[in-house]
Amino acid sequence: MKKILFLLVILSTILLGKDINTDELLKNLDNSEWIIVDTRHSNEYNGWNLSNLKINGHIKGATDISSNWLDAKYLNSKNKDILKQRVLEKGITPEKNIVLYGTSKNMEKVKDYLKENGIEKIYFYDLEKNKDYDKLPFETYANYEILVPATWVKDAMDKNEVKVFEVSWGSIKDAAVYLAGHIPGAPHINTDGIEPPPKWMLNTDENLIKFAKEMGIYKNDTVVLYGEDVMASYRLAIILKYLGVKDVRVLNGGLDAWKAAGYKTDMGIVKPNSIKDFGSRIPLNKSLIVDENGAKEVLKDNKNSKILVDIRSYNERVGRESGYSYMDRKGRIAGSVWGKAGTKSTTLEDYRNIDNTMRNGYEIISMWSGLGIDSNKELTFFCGSGWRAAEVLFYSQVMGLKNNAIYSNGWMEWSENSSNPIEVGEEK
C-alpha cells in the first residue's frame, strides 16, 4: 500500500508539478541541474512592479518564458519554431529540474506548453503563497524604467505627465494603422522628418531640432514612443536622446501591448502642438551618434576598448544581399564584428521575444559573448540605415551598459564611399 501511495505521489508530481518553498529554492539557485523560469510578463522580469510585490525584478540568474508569449495571436508557425529554439537555449531540457515562478495562472500556462514539448520535471514556486520570497536575491535592469508597460503609459497620460507619439514611416495619409486606431491623443510622426528621402540618412542637427519643435517636443519633456512596427520607435528614441530630451521612453511591445492591456484606441488624426523653442540650439548628447569619421576612429582604436558592431542579417553581412532596394553595394565594414539581428533587413528576431518585447539581457550578453563581443567595451552599433542598430543601442541602455553609441548612417553611407574598406564572403 505504501509503495502504491509513493508511486501515486511521484506520478502526481510528474503530471501536475510540485510546489516548492523558499528554502528549497534557495538551496538550488546555484545548482546547474535546476533552471529557474519567470512566467510573468517581461515588464515584470525587467523590473516593473505590476503585482504589488515587496521587491521588483526577477530572481537573480532566472530565465523567462512569459505566459503572454503563449497567446494564440503570437504562436504562428515561425514564432513556434523560434520559441522552441529559445527554450533549448535557456537550458530547459528533459533532464533538468525546471522551477516555474509567478502566479498560478501564469505557471499553469507555461507548464502545459513545456509538457507538450517533453519537459516533465516541473516545480512551482508561487509568489502569492510564499510570502517570504524577498529572502531570494532579486535584480532589475539598471534602466528598466525607460522601457515602459502600457499600464504606466495610461497612468502617466491620465495625470498629463507625458507626451505620447506613434512613429512609423510614411505620411499621415499612408499610415493606415494609425488612422484605424491609435493611442488616444497621440499624434503620428513620419520618420521622413528625421531621415529624409531618397537616401534616408540622418537629418542635419539644425533640421532635427526644427523637427522636434514642429512635433511640440521640448528638451525637458517626458516622451513615450510606440508603433505597430516597434523598430521605428527606437530609431526616434535614440535621436531624441541625442538632441537632449530629458526623459525618452518606449512602450515595450508597441501598439499591440496597449491593445493587449485592454485599453481603447481612437481613429482619425491628432495634430501635434508645435512650440517655438526646443530649449537648445544644438544637440546636447553628441557622443550618442557618430558619423563616418567616428566609425573609423572606433576601428582604429589602439587600446582595444571599442568595437564596431554590425546589426544586420547574415546574408547582408556576407554580401549575398544589400537588404535594401535602394542600396546596391553588398558586404560589410572591414574590421567590424557581427552582432546578429534577424532574417532580413526589416526584422530583429535575435533581440526580441515573440511578442516584440525586449529579449532578456542574459541572453543578449551571452549571444554577444559567443560572437566575440565584450559588453564591457564601448560598443558602436550600425546596420543599413540606423533602425535596427538604434533598437539594440536602446536595449543596451536598458541593461545599463555605458558609453555605447550608434553609427547612424551605417552601411548606407559607408558603402557609398568607394575608398572605404569592405569585405565580402564567409568569415574565418
pLDDT tens digits, 326-375: 888 999 999 999 999 999 999 999 999 999 999 999 999 999 999 999 99
Does the CA dihedral 316-321-322-325 come out positive or negative? negative
The residue among 284, 305, 332 that closes a domain is: 284
Distances (CA, A) of 96 to 37, 120, 297: 12, 9, 47
User: Helix, strand or coil for residue 36?
Assistant: strand
Range of the structural domain that residue 42 is part of: 2-139
From the number of C-beta atoms within 10 Å of its C-beta (0-12, 13-18, 19+), residue 293 rates as exposed
Q: Tell me, yes or no, whether 172 and 209 share the same domain.
A: yes
Residues with catalytic roles? 383
Looking at the 3D structure of the chain, how many domains does it have?
Answer: 3
Q: Tell me, yes or no, whether 94 and 160 share the same domain.
A: no
In a domain, 428, yes or no: no
Q: Tell me, yes or no, whether 133 and 194 share the same domain.
A: no
Q: Tell me, yes or no, whether 150 and 23 share the same domain.
A: no
309, containing H or E segment: strand 306-310
What is the pLDDT, as a whole number, of residue 7? 40
What is the pLDDT, as a whole number, of residue 11? 41
In a domain, 276, yes or no: yes
Question: For residue 37, is pLDDT > 70?
Answer: yes
Query: Could you give the angle at the alpha carbon of 199 between the alpha carbons of 195 and 204, nearest 5°?
Result: 40
Q: Tell me, yes or no, whether 109 and 125 share the same domain.
A: yes
Which residues, at least 6 apart from 277, have a Cβ–Cβ distance to it below 8 Å?
Answer: 213, 218
Per residue in 270-299, pLDDT (tens digit) is 999 999 999 999 999 999 999 999 999 999
In a domain, 272, yes or no: yes
What is the pLDDT, as a whole number, of residue 235? 98
Per residue in 43-98, pLDDT (tens digit) is 999 999 999 999 999 999 999 999 999 999 999 999 999 999 999 999 999 999 99
Q: Tell me, yes or no, whether 342 and 359 share the same domain.
A: yes
Rounded to the nearest integer, the mean pLDDT of the chain is 94
CATH number at residue 30: 3.40.250.10
Lowest-confidence range among 15-29, 101-115, 193-207, 225-239? 15-29
Query: What mean pLDDT comes out for the span 159-168?
Result: 97
Between CA 363 and CA 147 the distance in angstroms is: 18
Q: Tell me, yes or no, whether 65 and 150 share the same domain.
A: no
Q: Tell me, yes or no, whether 120 and 211 share the same domain.
A: no
Query: What mean pLDDT comes out for the span 24-53?
Result: 97
Closest CA to 43 of 20, 60, 61, 67: 67
CB 185 within 8 A of CB 226: no
What is the pLDDT, as a whole number, of residue 16? 52
Query: Residue 172 — very low, low, confident or very high, per pLDDT cuts 50/70/90?
Result: confident
Per residue in 363-392, pLDDT (tens digit) is 999 999 999 999 999 999 999 999 999 999
Lowest-confidence range among 10-14, 167-171, 388-392? 10-14
Question: For residue 152, is pLDDT > 90?
Answer: yes
296, containing H or E segment: helix 292-299
The residue among 284, 300, 332 that closes a domain is: 284
pTM as predicted: 0.95
Q: Tell me, yes or no, whether 104 and 185 share the same domain.
A: no
Question: For residue 1, is pLDDT > 70?
Answer: no
Q: Tell me, yes or no, whether 319 and 303 share the same domain.
A: yes
Q: Tell me, yes or no, whether 204 and 77 share the same domain.
A: no
Q: Tell me, yes or no, whether 336 and 390 share the same domain.
A: yes
CB 42 within 8 A of CB 64: yes
Amino acid identity of residue 228, one-letter, is: E
Question: For residue 310, is pLDDT > 90?
Answer: yes
Query: Residue 171 — very low, low, confident or very high, per pLDDT cuts 50/70/90?
Result: confident
What is the pLDDT, as a whole number, of residue 330? 95
CB 291 within 8 A of CB 252: no
Q: Which residues are paired to 190 by β-bridges?
A: 168
Query: What mean pLDDT comes out for the span 195-224?
Result: 96
The residue among 139, 169, 199 that closes a domain is: 139
What is the pLDDT, as a whole number, of residue 2? 44
